[in-house]
Amino acid sequence: MMERVGIVWNWLSEVTNKLSSGWRSWSQTRFVHSFFEAWWWGLTVLVRPVPTLQRAAEEKPILPALWLTILQGFSLAIGTRYAVDHEGFVLSWLIKNLPSWWLVVFYAFVFPPSIWFIKAAVLNLVAELLGGPPRGLSLLSTTAVACSPLLLVLPVALIAVALAEPDLNTGFISHLWFVFAIGVHAWWVALTLVAIRETYRFTVGQALLTMLLPSAVGLPLAYIIYRVLSVVA
C-alpha cells in the first residue's frame, strides 16, 4: 500500500515539476513578456506622453504595440456598447449600431489592428510626401501607444453605469460621462499628433497637416465614388 502511495506521489511530483517548468518557460517568452510590456507603454504614455512617444519612435516596440491595439480595441468596443445599452452618449456610430454583442467582440479583435496598419501606412505616406524620413515601423509603434487613453473606456463605463441613476442619460453622472466620452477621444487625437511630430521630428503644423490631409482628400474622393456607383447602379 505504502509503495503504491509512493509511486503515485512521485508521479504527481514529476507532473507538477514539468508543469511548473513549462509555465516558467512560457511566461518568459517574448510573446508573454510583450503583453506586460504593452501595459507599461500604455500607462506610461498617459503621464509622460512626449518622452514615452520619443522612446517608442526609437525602439519600435511592434509586438507590445500590437497588444496595445488589441487591448484598446477591446476596451473601446465593449465599454462603448455597454454605455449604449445604458443610454449613454457615445461617439462611435458603428459600434453603437452593431446588431449583436458577438459582432461587437468580433469588431474589438479584428477592426482595430486592421485600421492601425492602414492608418499608419497612409500617415507615413503623407509624412514622406511632406518631406519626412521613411519611418513606417516607428509610426506604427507610436500611433499604437497614442491610442492608450482608450484603455480607460471600459473601466470608466463600468464605474459610470454602476453610479448612474437609473441610466447614463440622466443625472450628474451622465454629464461626467459625456465629458469623458468627448475628452478621451480628444486625448487620443492629441497624442496621435504628438506621435507624428516625434516620429518625423516635424513641427506641430506639419504634424497637423499630416493628420488632416488624408481626410481632406479621402472624404471628397469617397463621396465621388459613392455618387458614381449610385448612378451606375
Q: Is 179 within 8 Å of 88 (Cβ atoms)?
A: no
Task: Find where cell 488589441 sits.
Answer: 70
pLDDT tens per residue, range 169-208: 888 888 999 999 999 999 999 999 999 999 999 999 999 9
DSSP 151: G
pLDDT at 116 exceeding the cut of 70: yes
Select from 130, 115, 106 the least CA-distant residue to 213: 130
Measure the CA–CA gap between 5 and 7, rounded to whole angstroms: 5
pLDDT tens per residue, range 30-89: 777 889 999 999 999 999 999 999 999 999 999 999 999 999 999 999 999 999 998 888
